[in-house]
Structure 1
């Protein structure tokens, strides 16, 4: 199996209002997010790629337009957790690139959430 991945960055605020008031994530705060999309294929295309990295530019455009410097509570359905964002980006990517095998979202350099069916 061949696997490729590409990393994207954005900054945004969010608030997990369903948590107790004394939980740090219940307060309005922000992160510098990292999104990594992974694509996998048992074979390569005629150019020797799983998919040309340039073809992933629509994800950068989508992130820049919809997520970057936004309040995620206004963008996402459901809690704006890294787990829900990983699922959201996976579904968005998989509908465009069937080779999408996983998406990881990081809020900090030490924490990651991943959706992999």
Structure 2
């Protein structure tokens, strides 16, 4: 199996208001997110790629236009916008457009990652 990944970055705020008072994530706060998309294929295309990295440009536009410097609760319409939830959201978005999508990872901090891989 061949696998490729590409990283995308954005900054945004969110609030997990359903958490108990005193929980740091219940307060309005922000992160410098990293989204890592993985694509996989058992065979390479005629150009020798799983997929040309340039073909991931629509994801960059989607992230830049819809997520960067925004409040994620407003963008996504709910109050449980976690890294796990974002990983699934970006996976579903990518899978519709890039059938080779095999996983998406999201980081909120340099030491933490959440992944969605069916």
Classify the TM-score, shorter chain: over 0.9
Counterparts of 1:111 and 1:75, CA distance in 2:
23
Calculate the TM-score normalised by the size of structure 1.
0.98
Shift in Å, 1:21: 1.3
Gaps of 5+ in 1: none
User: 1:71-117, CA deviations, whole angstroms, 9 ceiling, x for partnerless residues?
Assistant: 00001244110000000000000000000000000000000000000
Quote the Cα distance in structure 2 between the aligned partners of 1:25 and 1:48.
44
Which ranges of 4 or more aligned residues in structure 1 deviate by more than 4 Å?
Answer: none
- Counterparts of 2:77 and 2:38, CA distance in 1: 23
Q: Which TM-score applies when normalising by structure 2? A: 0.98
Task: Give unpaired runs (5+ residues) of structure 2.
Answer: none
* 1:15-48 CA-partner distances (Å, limit 9, x unpaired): 0011001100000000000000000000000000
Q: Which residue in 1 is equivalent to 2:51?
A: 51
Pair 1:80-2:81 in alignment: yes
Task: Give the paired residue count.
Answer: 117
